Chain A
Amino acid sequence: MSTRIILFAALLSAVVTAPAYAQQAPAAPAAAAPAPSWQQGRSNEQASSTLHPFAPHMTGRPAKDLPIDKLKVPAGFKVEVWADDVPEARSLALGSKGTVFVSNRNAKSVYAIVDKNGKREVKTLLKGLNTPNGIVFDKGTLYVAERHQITRYDDIENNLDNAPAPKLVVGNLDPQNQPGHFWKFLAMGPDGKLYYNVGAPGNIVMPSYFQATISRVDIKTGVVEEYAHGVRNSVGFTWHPVTKALWFTEHGRDWISDDLPNDELNTAPRKGMNFGYPYCHQGDLLDPEFGKNKSCAEFTGPVQKLGPHIAPLGLRFYTGKMFPAEYKNNLFIAMHGSWNRTTKHGYNIMRVVLDKNGKAAKYEPFLEGFLTDNKGDPPMWGRPVDVMQMADGAMLFTDDYNGIVYRISYKKK
């Protein structure tokens, strides 16, 4: 309410004083607003840049209207549409009875996709949520991370047509209605705690004490602790199937240049590590502003530089039996794209092969074909968001630009 009054007063004063502008040099009105977060940190020369983030088709686009046959996977693999009309499909979670849960951001809902009498059905399971990007299924319960809270929906797969009332796991996660990276990713750790990100409140700003972290919450007590620091924004974490260490993707800052800094693949095997934001990017690049009088040596760098502005999101290790043996324990990363560079890249799924020491021995494309014109606007016709392994070993991935879930499978010759 008070915000509205202030805005109204500001507008009123702008209107009342309007005649003065006619005689004066152009001046800012009383009610200046901060730049949108994606513009924050631009230089004066960059103010007229035509680079901009891409908005999803909020109503979804049917697969029949799209060049699905342009998608490419390695020999022996097959990619196909698994479900369309899932507008703004973001994170994936798999129920123990086979339900595929899909989240979104702006569409405020969570979908449940089930096979019913041989037909795939997309149900809108939850509605009216606040940026419900993060979802995870564990022991019969669906957990949902909205921008301000994490809730649980128990026994969800037996109640897909009438979801139970949510129970609060932890609230007050966004007390200041922060700008910037306010949506959350959610994952269940091997310790039985829920892990989530609290992103930086802008492109390149000093975060407050609990921002730019990966945090975790004990689902029984609701007690929260910060796990990793200096993480600008992570929208994907998972645990290594053997070492049980946490691995996560991190988006680097924008508006330094086309080629800097790289986005990151990181690992945080223990609590308390700091990954550098806002002082140091990609492990070896001091921030032009915040990095003065700092050293990258005090921070943990990435396992793999993923490429500048490529926007890595969901990632999972492959542990299934369908793909060839050399894919076992490989890491797959969904790349959402690269709006903040003049020549676009990404919009693919990348494969990372780790050696015995946990170093990236190979980093190569696994699924390509969404990028059609690297100077185009838009340059692509789809954007991968999350990857997930199914019970049969096939892989699903989401595309929020069109609202489509795809399936990648492998067949021995």
Chain B
Amino acid sequence: MTDFRPTTLIAAAIFAAVFIWTAPAVLAADIEAGKRKAETCAACHGLSGNSTDPAIPSIAGQPAQFISTQLYFFREGSRKNAQMLAIASNLKNADLNDLAAYFSVQKAAPAKTLAPEKIETGKRLSQQFNCVACHGATLLGQQHIPRLAGQHAEYLRTQLRGFQAGTRFDMDGNMTSAARALPAAEIDVLADYLASLGTP
């Protein structure tokens, strides 16, 4: 009955990855404006969006829609974080779009290295628990879905545990469902694996 052809899906996934890459649909003016507005962000995230504190996410090279959407949910108080609420509450939608445009074109810092056997396990988990279905075959994120490749492992662990506990805001229930399927003992290796993946 079903009409799903694996080859088509793989082709679609590859196409999606290429498409996202080659089409950062942002205007130069937005990026420049975003850079000027990014000073407050730089204190914690770094000027290029590569934070040095592993508890603070890397936002360099994240999909623009992901950044603007998260800023929006911080501002509206849906995703709870006192510091981000304070910062975002003074920003208008146009500011959020400018910041998203700026950080989305910054280059992510090189990934951490990881032992080969951990890479094997992590890769298996990322497929078994369907991370790749939404975050993309190379886990670079797409649209409103974040890049996981090269993200700080500590930050990823905190988010996954938050989703499991139901304390992390989840717009559509996808991550709560995905994270609760994940055995607690597997979170560490999965997070380390994701942190070890390179970004272009």
Residues of A within 8 A of B (CB): 3-4, 7-8, 11, 14-15, 17-19, 21-22, 26-29, 31-39, 43, 45-50, 52-55, 57-62, 65, 85, 87, 106-108, 179, 256-259, 288, 341-342, 373, 375-378
Shortest Cβ distance from A406 into chain B, in angstroms? Answer: 19
| Inter-chain contact B164/A11, CB cutoff 8 Å | yes
Most B Cβ at <10 Å: residue of A8, A50, A258: A50
| Inter-chain contact A59/B25, CB cutoff 8 Å | no
B residues in contact with A259, CB < 8 Å: 3
Compute how far the CA of A373 lies from the CA of B15 in the bound complex, rounded to whole angstroms: 11
Residues of B within 8 A of A (CB): 1-5, 8-9, 12-13, 15-16, 19, 25, 27, 30, 65, 68-69, 71-73, 76, 93-94, 96-97, 100, 127-128, 130, 132-134, 142-144, 161, 164-166, 171-174, 176-177, 179-186
| Inter-chain contact A49/B9, CB cutoff 8 Å | yes
B residues in contact with A31, CB < 8 Å: 164, 180
Pick from A28, A34, A55, A57: contact of B171, CB below 8 A. A55
| Inter-chain contact A7/B165, CB cutoff 8 Å | yes
The residue in chain A whose Cβ has the minimal distance to the Cβ of B136 is A50
Shortest Cβ distance from A129 into chain B, in angstroms? Answer: 12
Q: If A54-B143, A87-B93 touch, does A19 touch B185 (CB 8 Å cutoff)?
A: yes
Compute how far the CA of A342 lies from the CA of B5 in the bound complex, rounded to whole angstroms: 9
The residue in chain A whose Cβ has the minimal distance to the Cβ of B130 is A48
Q: Which 6 A-B pairs have the closest CB atoms?
A: A21-B185, A59-B93, A33-B180, A377-B16, A55-B144, A258-B3
Q: What is the interface of chain B mostly: helix, strand, loop, or mixed?
A: helix
| Inter-chain contact A375/B9, CB cutoff 8 Å | no
Further 17 A-B residue pairs, CB within 8 A, beyond A18-B183, A38-B172: A4-B166, A8-B165, A14-B183, A14-B184, A18-B185, A19-B185, A21-B184, A28-B181, A28-B183, A32-B180, A33-B179, A48-B132, A57-B69, A58-B69, A59-B100, A65-B25, A258-B3
Q: If A35-B177, A59-B72, A65-B25 touch, does A29 touch B183 (CB 8 Å cutoff)?
A: yes
Pick from B130, B142, B166, B172: contact of A7, CB below 8 A. B166
| Inter-chain contact A36/B96, CB cutoff 8 Å | no
Shortest Cβ distance from B87 into chain A, in angstroms? Answer: 15
| Inter-chain contact B4/A14, CB cutoff 8 Å | no
Q: If A52-B134, A256-B1, A259-B3 touch, does A58 touch B68 (CB 8 Å cutoff)?
A: yes
Compute how far the CA of A204 lies from the CA of B179 in the bound complex, rounded to whole angstroms: 23
| Inter-chain contact A29/B182, CB cutoff 8 Å | yes
Q: If A29-B182, A45-B2 touch, does A376 touch B19 (CB 8 Å cutoff)?
A: yes
Shortest Cβ distance from B100 into chain A, in angstroms? Answer: 8
| Inter-chain contact B166/A376, CB cutoff 8 Å | no
A residues in contact with B176, CB < 8 Å: 33
| Inter-chain contact A342/B12, CB cutoff 8 Å | yes
Compute how far the CA of A179 lies from the CA of B172 in the bound complex, rounded to whole angstroms: 10
- For this complex, 17 residue pairs linking A to B, each with C-beta atoms less than 8 Å apart, are A4-B166, A7-B166, A11-B165, A14-B184, A21-B185, A29-B183, A29-B184, A33-B176, A39-B177, A48-B127, A50-B12, A55-B144, A57-B69, A65-B27, A257-B2, A342-B8, A373-B19
Compute how far the CA of A375 lies from the CA of B9 in the bound complex, rounded to whole angstroms: 10
The residue in chain A whose Cβ has the minimal distance to the Cβ of B19 is A376
| Inter-chain contact B130/A36, CB cutoff 8 Å | no
Compute how far the CA of A37 lies from the CA of B94 in the bound complex, rounded to whole angstroms: 32
B residues in contact with A19, CB < 8 Å: 185
Shortest Cβ distance from A354 into chain B, in angstroms? Answer: 32
Most A Cβ at <10 Å: residue of B15, B127, B133, B180: B180
| Inter-chain contact B180/A50, CB cutoff 8 Å | no
Shortest Cβ distance from A233 into chain B, in angstroms? Answer: 16
B residues in contact with A22, CB < 8 Å: 185
Compute how far the CA of A50 lies from the CA of B139 in the bound complex, rounded to whole angstroms: 13
Compute how far the CA of A21 lies from the CA of B121 in the bound complex, rounded to whole angstroms: 14
| Inter-chain contact A49/B76, CB cutoff 8 Å | no
The residue in chain A whose Cβ has the minimal distance to the Cβ of B162 is A11
The residue in chain A whose Cβ has the minimal distance to the Cβ of B16 is A377
A residues in contact with B2, CB < 8 Å: 43, 45-46, 256-257
| Inter-chain contact A85/B93, CB cutoff 8 Å | yes
| Inter-chain contact B68/A59, CB cutoff 8 Å | yes
Shortest Cβ distance from A44 into chain B, in angstroms? Answer: 11
| Inter-chain contact B177/A34, CB cutoff 8 Å | yes
| Inter-chain contact B174/A36, CB cutoff 8 Å | yes
A residues in contact with B184, CB < 8 Å: 14-15, 17-18, 21, 29
B residues in contact with A35, CB < 8 Å: 177
Compute how far the CA of A87 lies from the CA of B97 in the bound complex, rounded to whole angstroms: 12
Shortest Cβ distance from A85 into chain B, in angstroms? Answer: 7
Shortest Cβ distance from B189 into chain A, in angstroms? Answer: 11
A residues in contact with B144, CB < 8 Å: 55
Compute how far the CA of A15 lies from the CA of B171 in the bound complex, rounded to whole angstroms: 25
Shortest Cβ distance from B192 into chain A, in angstroms? Answer: 15
Compute how far the CA of A22 lies from the CA of B185 in the bound complex, rounded to whole angstroms: 7
| Inter-chain contact B93/A60, CB cutoff 8 Å | yes
| Inter-chain contact A50/B73, CB cutoff 8 Å | no
A residues in contact with B180, CB < 8 Å: 29, 31-33
A residues in contact with B183, CB < 8 Å: 14, 18, 21, 26-29
B residues in contact with A15, CB < 8 Å: 184
Most B Cβ at <10 Å: residue of A3, A22, A45, A106: A106
Shortest Cβ distance from B96 into chain A, in angstroms? Answer: 5
